[in-house]
Amino acid sequence: MVADKETVARLLRTARGQLDGLLKMVEEDRYCVDVSNQLLATIAILKRVNREVLDSHLQHCVLEALDGKTQDAPQKVDEIMQLVDKLSR
């Protein structure tokens, strides 16, 4: 992985902390809207992590493949298209 590992790790630790908080909120039978808002905040962090990872992949792995530095350009394009399909669901 070529993404900034410190940033990705920090964001994932934050999301993990939020998940722990969500579990506690559920166990404490907290108000549904409060739980939902916390879920949305956690999802936003995970989306940010995914964007960071995908951006780094495009900027490094895919560009190298398209520049002819590797022979797997068609495979890289297929991978990106599969991810686009998943993101559009």
CATH number at residue 58: 1.20.58.1000
Give the domain extent around 23: 5-87
Average pLDDT over every residue of 5-26: 97
- Tell me: pLDDT of 30 over 90: yes
Structure confidence at residue 66 (pLDDT):
87
Percent of the residues in the chain that have a pLDDT greater than 70, as a whole number? 100
Q: Which residues contact 39 (CB under 8 A, 6 or more apart)?
A: 22
pLDDT in tens, 52-64: 999 999 999 898 8
Provide the whole-model pTM. Answer: 0.84
Q: Which residues contact 63 (CB under 8 A, 6 or more apart)?
A: none
- Tell me: pLDDT of 68 over 90: no
User: Angle at which helices 32-57 and 5-27 pack, to 10 degrees?
Assistant: 160
pLDDT band at 3 (very low <50, low <70, confident <90, very high): confident
What residue type is 63 in one-letter code? L
Structure confidence at residue 64 (pLDDT):
87
